[in-house]
Every structure is written in structure tokens, then in C-alpha cells.
């Protein structure tokens, strides 16, 4: 199963490090990453594969919610299905 992680917030050091650390700890593999900074605001969309992870999507969402809040970031984790449904026939 693939997940989409969307990170938005004021740019600071260590955002990508935090996100990739959590994913690695949960054995979730990053397969694509799109990131930019507009007027000091960090914006990242990351596609990752959960096949080897034992965690549930709900657990990952909770982890990112807590870590994101601590760094002043809005982090959203979604099942890929909704995007596939909308953009792929």
C-alpha cells in the first residue's frame, strides 16, 4: 500500500530529516518526493510504500500529527487510493 504525505509550514532546519526518520523507523520506503519553498513556507509532497511496514495507517497519522505539531507543521498522511480514484481510470 502506498501513502501520500503532505507537509506544509514555515521553513526550518530538519523537516525532511524528521519526516524521513519516522518513515525509516516504521520501515516505510520513500519512492518519490516533490519539495519547494515559497516565501519562506515549506511545501512537500511525498509518496511512500508501506508494504514492509507493520504499522497501521492510523498509527502513522498519529505519529506525524504529534511530531508535526511540535515543529509547527501541518502534516497530512493519506491512503493513495483517493488520488488514484480521481486521476487514473
Partner 1 sequence: MLTAKEIRETNRMIEENNLDVRTITMGISLRDCSHPDLDTFCANIYEKITHTARNLVRTGEDIEREYGVPIINKRISVTPIAIVAEACKTDNYVKIAETLDRAADAVGINFLGGFSALVEKGYTPGDRRLIESLPEALARTNKVCASVNIASVRAGINMDAVRHMGEIIKKIAERTADRDAIGCAKLVVFANAVQDNPFMAGAFHGVSEPECVINVGVSGPGVVKTALEQCRGADFGVVSETIKRTAFKITRVGQLVAQEASRRLGVQFGIVDLSLAPTPAVGDSVAHILEEMGLEKCGAPGTIAALALLNDAVKKGGVMASSYVGGLSGAFIPVSEDAGMIDAVECGALSLEKLEAMTCVCSVGLDMIAVPGDTTAATIAAIIADEAAIGVINNKTTAVRIIPVPGKAVGDHVEFGGLLGHSPILKVNSFSAVDFIARGGRIPAPIRSLTN
Q: Which of 62, 50, 1 is nearest to 26 (CA)?
A: 50
What is the smallest separation between the CB atom of 76 and partner 1, expressed in angstroms? 6
What is the smallest separation between the CB atom of 42 and partner 1, expressed in angstroms? 14
User: Which lies closer to partner 1 via its Cβ, residue 22 or residue 50?
Assistant: 50
* E strand or H helix that includes residue 64: helix 57-70
Q: Which of 63, 62, 58, 78 is nearest to 25 (CA)?
A: 63
Q: What angle do CA 11, 13, 19 make, to 5 degrees?
A: 85
User: Which lies closer to partner 1 via its Cβ, residue 22 or residue 60?
Assistant: 60
What is the smallest separation between the CB atom of 78 and partner 1, expressed in angstroms? 4
Binding footprint of partner 1 on the chain (CB under 8 A): 4, 6, 31-32, 34, 45, 47, 57-58, 61, 76-88
Amino acid at each position: 500500500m502506498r501513502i501520500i504525505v503532505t507537509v506544509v509550514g514555515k521553513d526550518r532546519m530538519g523537516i525532511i530529516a524528521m519526516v524521513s526518520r519516522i518513515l525509516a523507523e516504521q520501515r516505510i520506503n520513500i519512492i518519490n518526493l516533490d519539495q519547494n519553498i515559497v516565501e519562506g513556507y515549506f511545501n512537500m509532497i511525498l509518496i511512500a510504500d508501506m508494504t514492509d511496514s507493520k504499522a497501521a495507517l492510523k498509527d502513522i497519522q498519529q505519529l506525524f500529527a504529534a511530531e508535526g505539531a511540535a515543529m509547527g507543521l501541518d502534516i497530512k498522511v493519506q491512503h493513495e487510493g483517493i488520488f488514484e480514484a480521481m486521476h487514473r481510470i
